[in-house]
Amino acid sequence: MAFTFKFIIQLFLTMMLAAVFTPLVKLLAFRIGAVDMPNKRRINSKPMPTAGGIAIFLAFSLATLWEFRHDLFGTNVLPILVGALIVVITGVIDDVKELSPLQKITGLIIAALEIYYVAGIRINTMSIPFLGMFHLSWLSLPITILWILAITNAVNLIDGLDGLAAGISMIALVTIGIVSYFYLPDNGIVISIMIFTLVASIMGFFPFNFHPAAIYLGDTGALMLGFLISVFSLQGLKNVTFISVLTPMFILGVPITDTIYAMLRRFFNRQPISSPDKMHLHHRLMSLGFSHRGAVMTIYALAIIFSFIALLMNYASTTAIILLVIMTIFGLELFIELIGLVGENRQPLLHFLKFFGNRQFRQEVMQKYLQKRKDKSNKVGCPKRASDFSF
């Protein structure tokens, strides 16, 4: 009981620390030129200070190194902070000078290598249902780096509306913290302390970031939050099982889904993967008439649903988990097609359901198919003209 009360007080102090740092970071952002200027891709209509992630990082670092120094003594908290610092520096430079995608990825890879070799956080083995366990050996490094890069960039891509990335990150972190506390046998409590300390740091920053925002996370904050989420989720993936890899993927279902469909959309449109557009989940919701806050709250609700599914997976059998995954993917695809995330003309599941549920539509499709076959047959069977034989 004494530890719980002390822990709550320490989290409250961490939150206050972030709240104090945020206005100072706002002034610093204007001073160093970390400002988002209005343009056709931006939501803001006036210059906005960015790099707000510095306030979260400072509060989180001070709390873990000072307030919780006795609870976290002997852990790998310092190497984790060093990796996060590398990401923060990369993000600050990007917010000020706008790095190229290659330069940004280079900074993230350096941070991931530090986590792998110095912090010792990595994926060592993988267990596949009905097949058994496999030691990854040399594949451990690329898989670990790929996991960190994928989650980090997924969170960064979702950062398009006021308070969106910060809120999604808090929902994901709370869920990971609960899973860590109850399902990680070795150092679950230590990881939970670090996770909830980060949540408290985000909470102190959040009132300044929710619509109408006074400061943005920027790449500094979005990349850092994605990086730390990937690292904390890796703590339960040292020995990967079917459930341990699905849990964080479902917890981060919203940013991962948005990233996957963004890649598909650009592939179908024959655009570079790194090319920006205004077809992300939050953009589509706003184009359908959602208000700024309405779009953000809707995505929060989706994130909470994903988190509940992730928690349920820890109680279900393997067969039940497989069925749950299939039903979730089916429902998610239906939602994605309804809002036109890939494109309003790319709705295979809706067309499939409509084919069986709408007689008129079914007849139209069949008529078009038969006409197409008839035209093709006529084209093949028609005699060649004399000009076709000329040399």
pLDDT score recorded for residue 371? 79
Give the pLDDT score at 281. 84
- Block means of pLDDT (10 residues each) for the chain, 391 residues, are 79 94 94 80 74 94 87 80 95 90 93 93 71 74 92 87 91 88 72 92 94 90 94 70 69 84 80 72 83 89 89 79 86 85 77 80 80 73 50 38
Instruction: Tell me the pLDDT tens digit for each residue of 21-56.
Output: 999 999 999 999 888 877 666 666 678 898 899 999
Rg of the chain (C-alpha set): 24
- Summarised one tens digit per residue, pLDDT across range 255-292 is 888 888 888 888 877 777 666 677 788 878 888 888 88
Residue 321 identity (one-letter amino acid): I
For the record, the structure tokens of 197 come out as 């300390």
pLDDT in the model for residue 237: 59
Strand order in the sheet with 239-240: 132-135, 125-128, 239-240
Where in the chain does DSSP place strands (E)?
A: 35-36, 48-49, 125-128, 132-135, 239-240
Q: What is the DSSP string of 72-130?
A: TTTSSHHHHHHHHHHHHHHHHHHHHH---HHHHHHHHHHHHHHIIIII-----EEEETT
Judged by phi (left if over 0) then psi (alpha if -120 to 50, else beta), residue 290 lies in beta
Kindly give, in sequence order, each residue whose CB lies less than 8 Å from that of residue 239, ignoring residues fewer than 6 positions away: 124, 125, 127, 133
Hey, is 134 helix, strand or coil?
A: strand
Instruction: Read off the DSSP letter of residue 48.
Output: E
Q: How far is CA 25 from CA 28, 42, 55, 59, 116, in A?
A: 5, 21, 6, 12, 30
Instruction: Please give the pLDDT value at position 1.
Output: 58
The span from the CA of 103 to the CA of 83, in Å, is 16
